[in-house]
Chains A and B, each alone.
Chain A
Amino acid sequence: MGLIGSALLAILGLLAAVAAATLSRLLAEDFSAWSHRMAEWLIQQAVRRLPEAYRDRLLDEWRGHLWETPGHLTKVLVAGGFYWAALELWRVERRRLRRAAVRERGLRLVEDTIADRYFSAIPVPFDGFARRVFPQRLRKSLAAEDITASHVITARAKQVADDLRKEGRTTVLSLEAALNVASDERDATVQSGEMLGDFWFTFSAVADLGECIRDPSIAAGNCQL
Chain B
Amino acid sequence: MSANEPRITGPTLKVLGALLASPRDELSGAEIGRAASLASGTLYPILLRLEQAGWLDSRWETEDPTTLGRPRRRFYRVTGTGEQKARQAVKDLEPTFGRLSWA
Chain A contact residues, CB within 8 Å of chain B: 54, 57-58, 60-69, 78-85, 88-89, 92
CB atoms of A85 and B43 under 8 A apart: yes
Name the B residues within 8 Å of A63 (CB-CB): 71
Other-chain contact of B44, A67, A79, A89 (Cβ < 8 Å): A89
Instruction: Knowing A63-B71, A64-B73, A81-B39, say if A69 contacts B30 (CB, 8 Å).
Output: yes
Chain B contact residues, CB within 8 Å of chain A: 28-31, 33, 39-45, 48-49, 60, 70-74
Q: Smallest Cβ distance from A46 to chain B, in angstroms?
A: 9
Q: Smallest Cβ distance from B2 to chain A, in angstroms?
A: 9
Q: Closest B residue to A66 by CB, please name it.
A: B71
CB atoms of A64 and B44 under 8 A apart: no
Q: Bound complex: CA of A66 vs CA of B70, how far in Å? A: 10
Name the A residues within 8 Å of B41 (CB-CB): 80-85, 88
Name the A residues within 8 Å of B72 (CB-CB): 60, 64
CB atoms of A65 and B45 under 8 A apart: no
Q: Closest A residue to B70 by CB, please name it.
A: A67
CB atoms of B30 and A88 under 8 A apart: no
Kindly name the residue among A54, A63, A64, A69 whose own CB sees the greatest number of chain B CB atoms within 10 A: A64
Q: Bound complex: CA of A79 vs CA of B60, how far in Å? A: 20
Q: Closest A residue to B2 by CB, please name it.
A: A146
Q: Smallest Cβ distance from A174 to chain B, in angstroms?
A: 22
Name the B residues within 8 Å of A60 (CB-CB): 60, 71-72, 74
Q: List 24 A-B pairs, Cβ < 8 Å.
A: A57-B74, A60-B60, A60-B74, A61-B29, A61-B74, A63-B71, A64-B29, A64-B71, A65-B28, A65-B30, A65-B73, A67-B71, A68-B31, A69-B30, A78-B39, A78-B40, A79-B40, A81-B39, A81-B40, A81-B43, A82-B40, A82-B41, A84-B41, A89-B48
Other-chain contact of B73, A58, A68, A92 (Cβ < 8 Å): A68
